[in-house]
Structure 1
Amino acid sequence: WIDCVAWSKTAEMIANTAHKGSAIIVEGRVDTRTWTDQNNQNRKSTEVNIDSVHFLEWPPRDGEAPQSHSEAPMPSEQPASAKNATNDDVPF
């Protein structure tokens, strides 16, 4: 997991839309932060400061299943031209 930080309207949108287990993509910049813990030990963490967020699933409306944005399924088999190709057919 990667720690992410959001501010202002981005933070509000995530809080109102996302839930535990939501599939999202975040874009932002990676920052390293240092601090002193309760035991007076220096600590360091890396986190992403979110610039934008993309939801891969939208929350369901009343009585609906969640909607997801998925890519088209991969073809189950190769095209006929690829099946019949041999190394002798390669021009290099």
Structure 2
Amino acid sequence: MNLVVLIGRLTRDPELKFGQSGKAYSRFSLAVDRPMKKGEADFINCVAFGKTAELIGEYLRKGRKVAINGRLQMNRYEVNGEKRTSYDVVVDSMEFIEAKGAESSTSEFSSPAPSYSAPKVASQPTNNDFDSSSFDEDEFPF
């Protein structure tokens, strides 16, 4: 089973792009705090497709805290004759963790969560229009 669940803050504004067929995709990175290691975080590359990508591109910005559900995907490619490998989390669903007004004004990603309960914000449905068997891998540049 390949299942990834992450809660973290965006390290930069997401990139929303469209493939040659018009299908949306969005790349972004999450800073996820390491448990029991104050001030340390892992930076995880993520990619979303379809409606989820459009939602991410429209509503998420650097510093916003989100939860994502997805799967880990390994990508192999060659640069100047050198073989390289990268890993991305392919996002199936995303949920806002903080209300928009509760965003942190600092760029530090390991700051503690606020002590109040943020209001529930609408979440992205888990049913998105991405089907890995229906897209051409050459269409997306990663």
Tell whether the structures are fold-level matches, with TM greater than 0.5.
yes
Deviation at 1:18, TM superposition (A): 0.3
Of 28, 31, 41, the residue aligned with 2:70 is: 28
User: Which has more strand, going by share of residues?
Assistant: 2
CA gap 1:27/1:71 in 2 versus in 1, 3 angstroms: farther
CA gap 1:71/1:50 in 2 versus in 1, 3 angstroms: farther
Of 98, 101, 114, the residue aligned with 1:57 is: 98
Aligned alpha-carbon RMSD (Å): 2.3
**Other-structure match for 1:41:** 82
Q: After the TM superposition, which parts of structure 1 deviate over 6 Å for at least 4 consecutive aligned residues?
A: 70-73
Deviation at 1:29, TM superposition (A): 0.6
Instruction: Decide which structure has the larger Cα Rg and report it.
Output: 1
CA gap 1:71/1:51 in 2 versus in 1, 3 angstroms: farther
**Other-structure match for 1:5:** 47
Deviation at 1:56, TM superposition (A): 1.0
User: Which has more helix, going by share of residues?
Assistant: 1
**Identical columns (%):** 32
| Amino acid across the alignment from 1:29 | R
- The whole-number CA distance in structure 2 between the counterparts of 1:46 and 1:19 is 22
**How many residue pairs get matched?**
66
**Other-structure match for 1:85:** none
TM-score by length of 1: 0.62
TM-score by length of 2: 0.42
